[in-house]
Amino acid sequence: MSSIRDLARGLGVSIGTVSRALNGRPDVNAATRARILAAAEAQGYSANPAARSLRKGSTNIVGFLFAPPEANSPLADVFFMDVVQGVQGALCDESLELVVLPCPTDDSPEAYVRRLVSRRFFDALIVMGGRDTLNAELVRSGVPVVGLAGSGGLSALVDFDHQATFADAITRLVNLGHTRVAAAPACPGRPVNAARVQHWLTPSTTEAEGRALGVELLSLDPLPTALIVENDAVAAGIYAALRTSGREPGRDLAVISCRSTARGRNLQPTPASYTYDPALIGAALARTVLGLLSGQPADGSVALAVGGVFVEGSSAGRPPV
């Protein structure tokens, strides 16, 4: 409704001064600034974002692309909107507007995103999943694009802190008294306390691989008393393999899953596992965006790692005496 002109006229100052005061520029008399801020507040004035964007060439908007989740995505059970709320919480302090962009399902997502980009609708984009080819194209267009975990070709990434989680799992098992610990993590690298692990088995991420892993495990003699796996699906596979051989998971073998998924919901014993707080993921995404926007290099590397939270389960007790 009211423009910067009205505000300036009412106060008997120039619009330039009002603009400087409102934007927190240092070269404004303290008293003048106070008067201006008070008047703006009183009149509920707020700068026209279209005019500002036109002038500055940037929109102050961060987009969060919502592409309907693929069923087999490892992210499918991370609640999208919870992550969004996490981003929002961290972004609104910086007076950046966060908007969720719903990708039309029938139309091609590529066309949609391209249109948005060519219109310079946002200053930065957050994606979860998404196709690598599209990502690469976006990055080439100059928009900072940040994503989570697996996504390729982005400006920067937020990832799960696999190392820390893995190290925590080892520590827990050792503290429980386990001396023969096996691990089949799918993430590359070794945690600091890797020496506590006696057996390194084939990296596995699916339930089928978990069953194969069980066979591999059962060929060991003596049998380990504890096993660390990538996720609940692998745990389910291990459970099946153990039971086929007459053994009971939890009792005969302690199992810790590094990533809680929907598959673990109805598993008995309930897998001791790790979840990643959507709010924390969101906050990390927001901080990464902020970094990129303030000039941090966009080399596609992992900018921030989010720590997991341990979830008690009945699958990881003390070793049999």
Partner DNA sequence: CTGAAAGCGCTAACAA
Partner DNA sequence: TTGTTAGCGCTTTCAG
Residues that bind DNA (CB under 7 A): 3-5, 12-17, 19-20, 22-23, 26-33, 47-48, 51-52, 54-57
At 319, the amino acid letter reads: P
The verdict on 15 binding a second copy (CB under 8 A) reads: no
Which residue among 17, 19, 59, 205 contacts a second copy (CB under 8 A)?
A: 59
> Choosing among DNA, a second copy, none, which partner's interface includes residue 220 (Cβ < 5 to 8 Å by kind)?
none
Q: How many residues belong to the site for a second copy (CB under 8 A)?
A: 36
Q: Of 20 and 120, which CB lies nearer to a second copy in the complex structure?
A: 120
Shortest Å distance, C-beta 238 to DNA = 58
Shortest Å distance, C-beta 120 to DNA = 9
Shortest Å distance, C-beta 305 to a second copy = 24
The verdict on 266 binding a second copy (CB under 8 A) reads: no
Which residue among 41, 70, 94, 107 contacts a second copy (CB under 8 A)?
A: 107
What is the Cα Rg of the chain in Å? Answer: 26
> With CB under 8 A as the contact rule, which of the stretches 53-61, 162-170, 196-204, 221-229 interacts with a second copy?
53-61
Which residue among 5, 9, 25, 115 contacts a second copy (CB under 8 A)?
A: 115
Torsion of CA 239, 242, 246, 251, to 10 degrees: -70
Q: What are phi and psi of 112, to 5 degrees?
A: -60, -50
Q: Measured between alpha carbons, how far is 138 from 145 in angstroms, rounded to an integer? A: 7
> Choosing among DNA, a second copy, none, which partner's interface includes residue 105 (Cβ < 5 to 8 Å by kind)?
a second copy
What is the per-residue binding string for a second copy in 73-102, x denoting contact by CB under 8 A?
Answer: -------xx--xx--xx--x----xxxxxx
Contacts of 34-39 with C-beta under 8 Å, sequence gap 24+, read 35/11, 36/7, 36/11, 39/7, 39/10, 39/11
Shortest Å distance, C-beta 57 to DNA = 7
Bridge partners for 160 per DSSP: 306
For residue 35, give the nearest of 10, 16, 52 by alpha carbon.
10
Q: Measured between alpha carbons, how far is 104 from 69 in angstroms, rounded to an integer? A: 13
Terminal CA-CA length for the chain: 77
Instruction: Write the burial class of residue 124 (CB in 10 Å: 0-12 exposed, 13-18 middle, 19+ buried).
Output: buried
Q: How far is CA 220 from CA 15, 24, 66, 203, 217, in A?
A: 79, 67, 46, 16, 6
Shortest Å distance, C-beta 16 to DNA = 3
Q: Of 30 and 195, which CB lies nearer to DNA in the complex structure?
A: 30
Shortest Å distance, C-beta 140 to DNA = 20
> Choosing among a second copy, DNA, none, which partner's interface includes residue 17 (Cβ < 5 to 8 Å by kind)?
DNA
> Choosing among a second copy, DNA, none, which partner's interface includes residue 5 (Cβ < 5 to 8 Å by kind)?
DNA
Shortest Å distance, C-beta 21 to DNA = 7
Beta-strand relationship, 273-275 and 309-311? antiparallel
Strand order in the sheet with 226-229: 199-200, 181-184, 226-229, 254-257
Which residues fall within 8 angstroms of residue 165, CB to CB, at 6 or more apart?
258, 259, 274, 307, 308
Please report which helix (H) or strand (E) contains residue 278, including its range: helix 278-293
Q: Of 11 and 76, which CB lies nearer to DNA in the complex structure?
A: 11
Residues interacting with a second copy, by CB under 8 A?
1, 44, 46-51, 53-54, 59, 66, 68, 80-81, 84-85, 88-89, 92, 97-102, 104-107, 112, 115, 118-121
